[in-house]
Amino acid sequence: MATQIVITNNDYIKIDDSYHMPWEEKGKNWQGAWCPNTIHAVIWNNLIGQNEIQNKDPSTGNMTGNTDLNATSDSVGTTTIASLLTWAETRKLQIEEAQVSYNAALVADANNGTTDAVGKTWVDYDPHYS
């Protein structure tokens, strides 16, 4: 399971301070209520500073304050930090598996003289992509 996650709503998700996922790669198992439009960012990591939810007014985009996060059981929208960490690790593995499948298709094309992977990307090999 992932141990760190930083979510910037509608922008990116960073897992374990090393894996960067653009927002559009979050996949079909992402639940919109997990990160409602009243949340600007969720920070759960081991860097200096408070782990927190940064809240905003969705009509203006202005920040409205922060909510401290102190345990993986703390709520974020309709879920918890623990559930987000589990989801993040799963999604990261799904993306990596899709990339391996895509690379294998490229190698198969090269070895077999086929063009099955032409015009495709790893996304085409990811059944979990949204």
Q: Which residues pair with 55 in a beta bridge?
A: 39, 65
Q: Where are the beta strands (DSSP E) in 1-128?
A: 5-8, 12-15, 19-22, 39-44, 52-56, 63-68, 75-76, 79-80
- The C-alpha atoms of residue 47 and residue 70 are separated, in whole angstroms, by 14
pLDDT of residue 33: 79
Rounded to 10 degrees, the C-alpha dihedral 38/32/121/98 comes to: 120
- H helical segments located in the chain: 81-112
Task: Flag whether pLDDT at 130 surpasses 80.
Answer: no
The arithmetic mean of pLDDT across residues 45-71, rounded, is: 96
- The C-alpha atoms of residue 52 and residue 38 are separated, in whole angstroms, by 14
Whether pTM exceeds 0.85: yes
